[in-house]
Amino acid sequence: MSKRNLIFLIGYRGSGKTTVARLLAEKLGWKWLDADAVLEERAGKSIRQIFADDGETAFRDLESAVLRELCTLEQHVIATGGGVVLREENRACLKHGAVIWLKAPADILWQRMQNDATTRERRPDLAQGGLAEIEEMLRVRERLYDKCQTLTVDVGSRTAEEAVEEIAARLNR
Ligand code: S3P
* Collapsed DSSP state (helix, strand, coil) of residue 6: strand
For ligand 1, whether the C-beta of 144 sits within 6 Å is no
Rounded Cα gap, residues 49 and 18, in angstroms: 21
Q: Residue 173 has what pLDDT?
A: 56
- Report which DSSP code applies to 86: G
Q: Residue 4 has what pLDDT?
A: 56
Ligand 1 binding pocket mutation candidate from 18, 34, 36 (most atoms within 8 A of CB): 36
Among 89, 98, 116, CA closest to 12: 116
Q: Residue 61 has what pLDDT?
A: 98
Rounded Cα gap, residues 6 and 30, in angstroms: 9
pLDDT by residue for the chain (173 residues), tens only, comes to 444 599 999 999 999 999 999 999 999 999 999 999 999 999 999 999 999 999 999 999 999 999 999 999 999 999 999 999 999 999 999 999 999 999 999 999 999 998 887 777 778 888 778 899 999 999 999 999 999 999 999 999 999 999 999 999 999 85
- Among the atoms of ligand 1, which is closest to the Cα of residue 83? 11
Rounded Cα gap, residues 59 and 36, in angstroms: 10
- Among the atoms of ligand 1, which is closest to the Cα of residue 80? 15
Rounded Cα gap, residues 115 and 69, in angstroms: 32
- Report which DSSP code applies to 84: G
Ligand 1 binding pocket mutation candidate from 10, 13, 46 (most atoms within 8 A of CB): 13
**How remote is the CA of residue 7 from the centroid of ligand 1, in Å?**
18
Rounded Cα gap, residues 107 and 98, in angstroms: 27
Q: Cβ(52)–Cβ(65) under 8 Å?
A: no
For ligand 1, whether the C-beta of 83 sits within 6 Å is yes
End-to-end CA gap in the chain: 10
Cβ count within 10 A of residue 76: 20
Ligand 1 binding pocket mutation candidate from 15, 19, 40, 47 (most atoms within 8 A of CB): 47
Cα 31 to Cα 5, 22, 23, 97, 173: the distances in Å are 11, 8, 10, 14, 16
